[in-house]
């Protein structure tokens, strides 16, 4: 039976993992059985009727394990309703504006075009100085990225609520 929802994610320092957990929690509270797993722990997509896939953004790219997951599962994803999200920008204001119009990794856009996700979201991220390597600290300082937790949980929850509504209405066919 494929009656479950999968929230799969790639996170280096934990901020994206918490966003994925929040989405999973909202879907469960809406009555949808949901698994939240790092992409590395996902096997077969057969048990899942829908997939939410997200990655942290590092230097404008998705994490390599998320890219590998997207590529390896393109066919299965194309046959299911899919939602994609990224977490990254720190600072206040519209996340896409903070990323100077960045919306999704350019190199992955052709795959997204074939999968036809229901939506591609960008959420604010978090930068915890204590978790960063020396090189990361240097890079973050160099681009003057604000440190701190800028995640907007209302934005994450309302995005998840739209996913839950769509799936519960049964409006899940592709195309
Ligand atoms: C070295 C480095 C590079 C980053 N590059 C970007 C970037 O290009 N765009 C962006 O919006 N955020 C960037 N970020 C911010 C992260 O995406 C943000 O901290 C995110 O929430 C991290 O998620 P994680 O804790 O799940 O790994 C960068 C952070 C670091 C440390």
Residue of 140, 145, 152 to test ligand 1 pocket, by largest number of atoms within 8 Å of CB: 145
From the CB of 134, is ligand 1 less than 6 Å away? no
From the CB of 88, is ligand 1 less than 6 Å away? yes
User: Residue 175: what pLDDT?
Assistant: 47
Q: How far apart are CA 63 and CA 68, in angstroms?
A: 9
Q: Binning pLDDT at 50, 70 and 90, where does residue 172 land?
A: low
Nearest atom, ligand 1, residue 99 CA: 11
Q: How far apart are CA 137 and CA 86, in angstroms?
A: 21
Is the pLDDT at 171 greater than 60, yes or no? no
Q: How far apart are CA 52 and CA 33, in angstroms?
A: 13
Ligand 1 centroid to 128 CA: how many Å?
A: 10
**φ/ψ of residue 142, rounded to 5:** -60, -40
Is the pLDDT at 174 greater than 60, yes or no? no
Ligand 1 centroid to 21 CA: how many Å?
A: 18
Cα–Cα separations (whole angstroms), residue 145 to 93, 126, 134: 13, 10, 15
Q: What percent of the chain has pLDDT over 90?
A: 94
Instruction: List the single range of 2-6, 33-37, 65-69 with lowest mean pLDDT.
Output: 2-6
User: Residue 129: what pLDDT?
Assistant: 93
User: Residue 118: what pLDDT?
Assistant: 98
Ligand 1 centroid to 36 CA: how many Å?
A: 21
> Which residue minimizes the CA distance to atom 2 of ligand 1?
58
User: Residue 3: what pLDDT?
Assistant: 86
Q: How far apart are CA 152 and CA 61, in angstroms?
A: 21
* 72-77 mean pLDDT: 97
Ligand 1 centroid to 171 CA: how many Å?
A: 34
Is the pLDDT at 173 greater than 60, yes or no? no
Is the pLDDT at 99 greater than 60, yes or no? yes
Residue-wise pLDDT for 41-71, tens only, equals 999 999 999 999 999 999 999 999 999 999 9
Residue of 8, 58, 94 to test ligand 1 pocket, by largest number of atoms within 8 Å of CB: 58
Cα–Cα separations (whole angstroms), residue 37 to 2, 135, 138, 158, 169: 17, 28, 31, 21, 25
What pTM was estimated for this model as a whole?
0.96
Residue-wise pLDDT for 118-168, tens only, equals 999 999 999 999 999 999 999 999 999 999 999 999 999 999 999 999 999
């Amino acid at each position: 039976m494929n009656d479950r929802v999968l929230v799969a994610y790639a996170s280096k320092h934990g901020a994206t993992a918490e966003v994925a957990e929040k989405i999973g929690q909202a879907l469960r509270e809406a009555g949808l059985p949901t698994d939240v797993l790092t992409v590395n722990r996902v096997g077969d997509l057969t048990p899942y009727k829908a997939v939410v896939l997200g990655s942290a953004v590092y230097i404008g790219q998705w994490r390599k394990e998320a890219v590998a997951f997207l590529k390896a599962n393109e066919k299965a994803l194309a046959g299911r309703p899919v939602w994609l999200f990224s977490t990254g920008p720190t600072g206040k204001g519209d996340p896409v504006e903070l990323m100077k119009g960045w919306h999704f990794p350019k190199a992955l856009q052709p795959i997204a075009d074939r999968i036809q996700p229901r939506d591609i979201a960008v959420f604010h991220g978090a930068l915890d100085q204590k978790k960063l390597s020396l090189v990361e600290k240097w890079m973050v300082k160099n681009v003057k990225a604000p440190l701190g937790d800028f995640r907007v949980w209302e934005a994450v929850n309302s995005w998840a609520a739209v996913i839950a509504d769509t799936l519960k209405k049964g409006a899940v066919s592709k195309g």
